[in-house]
Amino acid sequence: MNTAVHPITGGDFERAGSASKCLKEMLKKIGVEPETVRRTMIAAYEAEMNVVIHAHNGTMDIALDSDRLDVAVTDQGPGIPDIERAMQEGFSTAPPAVRQLGLGAGMGLPNIRRHSDRFAIDSTVGEGTQLRFTIFLASHEAHSATRSSVLVASPFCRQCLRCLHSCPTGALRVRDGKPQILEHLCIDCTACISACPSGALTMDCTARPPQPSSDTVLVAPTSLLTQFGAEVHPQQVLEVLRDMGFADVRFLYEWEQALRDAVAEYAREEAESRPVISPLCPAVVNLIESRFPSLLPNVAPFLSPIEAAQQALTATRVVVVVDCPAQQAALVSNASDARTTVMSPAGLCNEIAPLVMARKDAKDATLPCPDHANDAPHEALHVSGISHVLRVLESMENGLLPDVPLLEMFACDQGCPGSPVWKEDPFIARRRWRVAGHERRPGVEAFRRDTPLLARAGLRLDADMSKAIAKLGEIAVLTKGLPGRDCGMCGAPTCAAMAEDVVLGRTDIEACPYLPDSKGTPYEAE
């Protein structure tokens, strides 16, 4: 059995939810079935918020075994005079200031009871309340993630450790003088690539375009058209691409729009789980598979735009320019033949730059096209930037987005134009995007997935839940003995990650330079 105690401070809305979040991480590390995690999180969050709203202080006591979870939330506060009335939906004693924050709607205790397998509550007026709930646990099967599409160029690594602290899922380590990627945690976003100043992390795909031919179709992001300065109109870039000799030049914008239309209709007509999440960004889908598997039913059952383009085009050869490693990974995992070539934007930009610059002084009429910054359906909540995506998914998993019907989320800030593979700032790129006469062609449609999305191993410590619980306890003990600097000098992003690496055999405790040696002297970093 693994136990933990988390303090809760009344009135501290800034840290509210931290205890229940820690509980959720524990459950994910031992491989609890996603729907059970969701139920637990709702019950724990409501219990924690009751203390924050109504009491002076309290604690959340957790007892975790391989088949059950017992949670006791005890507070010192005014107590509940009429428990039966407090259990009625809509009854609340929250003050007006709390209600203005969107809290205290009178659903807390009913929600806890609804999402628990066992529930009990005792209260003494003038002293406080103890609430206890039990949830029976079951593990779930998880599929292995595909190989990461982030390329490590070890000779360029300066060991600056920026990648460690930028990775949103803790998938990076820097050991033996080079970055190392834990593929089961990597979601193939661009965070580490963006943070690396030396180019030691990049995309693992070809940089030079293949020779254009009459049977080759080029598929590119619209951002490609805005990367050559203010004096070059996107239409001129488009003309250069068409003159290179490809059978056709297509843009992902067409399939993005088709997906938006299909998802909006799905959200209106079919969806049973809300909010509906549009699979526009493969990195966000990867994140949900690994960190938020309980939200997989919320993801609309369609291919991402880049996968749809690959499936739709029937040319002998297709060259696809990708914005990020997640797009590349989606293409590679989806491809059953060798007709698709995946390439980075840099190679194509370098190839066409002289031709584009030669045309920059040519007279060109500016024919406006709608700014794709505003292409999201009006009912969709548009979220970009991995930190914002994480916060929104946390809120969604906690059941706090009942008013949002549809979500469009991108790991990169400002969406795909914000990928670090592009040199122009995404705000500038959006301003310049005026593709003359290039609209969605007739017949471009979204594609339904043939197979459902599956939960990944993600944070799971062991396939055996009992062993995972034992390792969770070892990690907790080791973490308490580490200095808590979260400096990254050991090669892991945090002391907790370092402790996990030790328990899982990835490194030794001596990797921490601040632990005392046998003589009581702290180790010095090299």
Q: What is the DSSP string of 244-255?
A: TT-SEEEETHHH
Instruction: Evaluate if residue 497 carries a pLDDT over 80.
Output: yes
Q: Which residues are CB-neighbours of 84 under 8 A, at least 6 positions away?
A: none
Give me the pLDDT at residue 436, please. 43
CA 16 → CA 9, 86, 393, 441, distances in Å?
8, 22, 16, 49
| Distance of alpha carbon 438 from alpha carbon 159, whole angstroms | 45
Global pTM value: 0.87
Tokens at 361, concatenated? 């002084």
Contact 284, 384 (CB under 8 A): no
CA 160 → CA 173, 499, 514, distances in Å?
12, 21, 18
Q: Is 149 left (phi over 0), alpha (psi -120 to 50) or beta?
A: alpha
Give me the pLDDT at residue 519, please. 45
Q: Which residues are CB-neighbours of 296 under 8 A, at least 6 positions away?
A: 34, 288, 289, 452, 453, 454, 455
H or E stretch at 21: helix 18-29
Average pLDDT of the segment spanning 338-347 = 83
CATH fold label, 465-511: 3-methyladenine DNA Glycosylase II; Chain A, domain 3 (1.10.15)
Torsion 434-435-441-444 (CA) sign:
negative
Torsion 389-394-398-400 (CA) sign:
negative
Instruction: Evaluate if residue 96 carries a pLDDT over 90.
Output: no
Give me the pLDDT at residue 287, please. 96
CATH fold label, 150-203: Alpha-Beta Plaits (3.30.70)
Strands 317-321 and 340-343, by their bridges, are: parallel
**Which pLDDT band, with edges at 50, 70 and 90, does 377 fall under?**
low
Domain ranges in the chain are 2-136, 150-203, 216-432, 465-511
Average pLDDT of the segment spanning 478-486 = 94
CATH number of 2-136: 3.30.565.10
Give me the pLDDT at residue 95, please. 67
∠ CA 307-291-295, rounded to 5°: 70
